Amino acid sequence: MIDHATGGTATPDGTALHQLHRGLRDEASSEPEAAHTGPVTKETQIIAIYGKGGIGKSFTLANLSYMMAQQGKKILLIGCDPKSDTTSLLFGGKACPTIIDVSSRKKLAGEAVRIEDVCFKRDGVFAMELGGPEVGRGCGGRGIIHGFETLEKLGFHDWGFDFVLLDFLGDVVCGGFGLPIARDMCQKVIVVGSNDLQSLYVANNVCNAVEYFRKLGGNVGVAGMVINKDDGTGEAKKFAEAANIPVLATVPAHEDIRRKSANYEIIGFPGGQWGDLFAELATNVAEAPPRRPKPLTQDGLLALFDAKDTGRDFVLEPATMLDMCGKEEIVKPSLEVVYDAAV
C-alpha cells in the first residue's frame, strides 16, 4: 500500500507515519531564515512608524514626509492613531476628516466614499487620517482594520506612491495596531524613542512583535530608530546598539524645535536650520534595509539606566496572609487522595 503523505510504502507498524511526524517536528524546530538585508526592491515602500504616545512620531513623520516630497518623492502619509492628530502639524493645526467618520456618514446617506473626501495635500505630500471610534464606543484596533479595508476599496495598491508612511501608536498591543507587522502590510518598521525608560520599553515591545512574527514566517524587519528630544545622556543609543538596529537620525532637545512644533510649523525643509537633519533622515529611511532585531529583556532595559534612577536594585518582598488579613494563615490538611505508585 502506498502512503501518499510520504511517497513511500506504509507498513503495518506505522513506520511511514512515524517518519512523517519526525519530519514535521524537525521542520518546526528549525530556525527561520535570516531577515532580508539587501535593498528593498518593491516599487512602493510602505513603512510603519511606532512609538510611545507623545514621543514625537507625528512631528517626525510630518517633517520627514515634507522633506521627502521636496526631494521629488511621491509621498502618502496615513495617520493610524485614534487621536487623529498625525496630519495636524502638516496642515497648520487643522484636522482633516477621518476615513472612519466619512465612511459612517456616507453609509447613512447611501453614498460611496471618494478619494477627495478623505485625502488632502500640501506641497507634494498627500495625507489622510484613518481615525477611530469615540471614547468608550468601540475598538480602536478594529477601526484601523476597517480603515484599511476602505483604502483597498479606493484602490490603495494602484496609487503608485514612492513611499507610504504609516503612523501607529506603540503603547497599545491589540491586533489592529499590529496589523502591518502581523500581515506583512509594510516592508519595514521604524521606532521613535528618547532617553527615557518608557519610550524605550515601547520601542522594545515593537521589536518583540517583529521578532515574534518573523518566527511565524513574516518578512517585516526594523529599519532603525529615530532618537527624538535627545538630551545627550545616551540611553536610546545604547538601546539601539543592544537591539541591533541603526540610529537613523538624532533630533536634539532644542527650544526652537519645541516651540515651532507647538505652533504647528514645519521645520524639515531644504535650506532651513534643521533641513540637513531631516534630509539625512529621509535618505537613511529610504535606504535602510529591514533588519531582524534582538529585543531586550526587562532587566536588559533597566541595565541601560543608572540603578538609582530606575530602582533596579530593589528586591521583591512577597506579601503574606498576615499582611492581607491581620492573622496568620491556618494550614489545613489536604483532602487530596494520593495513590501509591504502581509496582
Backbone angles phi, psi at 87, to 5 degrees: -90, 0
pTM: 0.78
Residue 267 has pLDDT above 60, yes or no: yes
What stretches of 129-217 show up as alpha helix (H) in DSSP?
Answer: 140-153, 179-182, 197-215
Element (H, E) at 189: strand 188-193
Average pLDDT, rounded, for the chain: 84
**Active-site residue flag, 73:** no
Q: Which of 20-24, 36-40, 285-289 has the highest mean pLDDT?
A: 285-289
How many CA atoms are closer than 13 Å to the CA of 311, on its beta-carbon side? 3
Q: Is 343 exposed, middle or buried (0-12, 13-18, 19+ CB in 10 A)?
A: exposed
Residue 11 confidence class, pLDDT cut points 50, 70, 90: very low
Q: And the C-alpha cell for 83? A: 487621536
Residues 6+ apart with CB under 8 A from 130: 78, 79, 80, 84, 98, 99, 100, 143, 144, 147, 148
**Active-site residue flag, 42:** no
**Active-site residue flag, 57:** yes
Residue 36 confidence class, pLDDT cut points 50, 70, 90: very low
Cell 536650520 identifies what position?
273
Catalytic site residue from 73, 74, 83, 238: 83
Contact in structure between 44 and 160 (CB atoms under 8 Å): yes
The span from the CA of 151 to the CA of 327, in Å, is: 62
Catalytic site residue from 57, 188, 229, 260: 57
Residue 100 confidence class, pLDDT cut points 50, 70, 90: confident
Backbone angles phi, psi at 196, to 5 degrees: -135, 155
Residues 6+ apart with CB under 8 A from 152: none
**Active-site residue flag, 52:** yes
Which residues are registered as beta bridge partners of 98? Answer: 129
Catalytic site residue from 85, 117, 171, 184: 171
Give the rounded percent of residues in the chain with a pLDDT score beyond 90: 51
Convert the pLDDT of each residue in 107-163 to its tens digit: 899 999 999 999 999 999 999 998 876 666 666 666 777 888 888 889 888 899 999
Residues 6+ apart with CB under 8 A from 163: 44, 45, 46, 47, 65, 68, 73, 74, 75, 76, 285, 286
Residue 276 confidence class, pLDDT cut points 50, 70, 90: very high
Convert the pLDDT of each residue in 248-265 to its tens digit: 999 999 999 999 999 999
The residue with greater pLDDT, 211 or 4, is: 211
Give the rounded percent of residues in the chain with a pLDDT score beyond 70: 81
pLDDT of residue 26: 60
Per-position b or e across 329-341, b if 16+ CB within 10 A of its CB: eeeeeeeeeeeee
pLDDT of residue 140: 64
Residue 62 has pLDDT above 90, yes or no: yes
Alpha carbon 285 to chain centroid, angstroms: 15
Residue 64 confidence class, pLDDT cut points 50, 70, 90: very high
pLDDT of residue 242: 96
Cβ atoms < 10 Å from Cβ of 6: 15
pLDDT of residue 198: 92
In the chain, the domains with their CATH numbers are 45-302 (3.40.50.300)
pLDDT of residue 120: 95
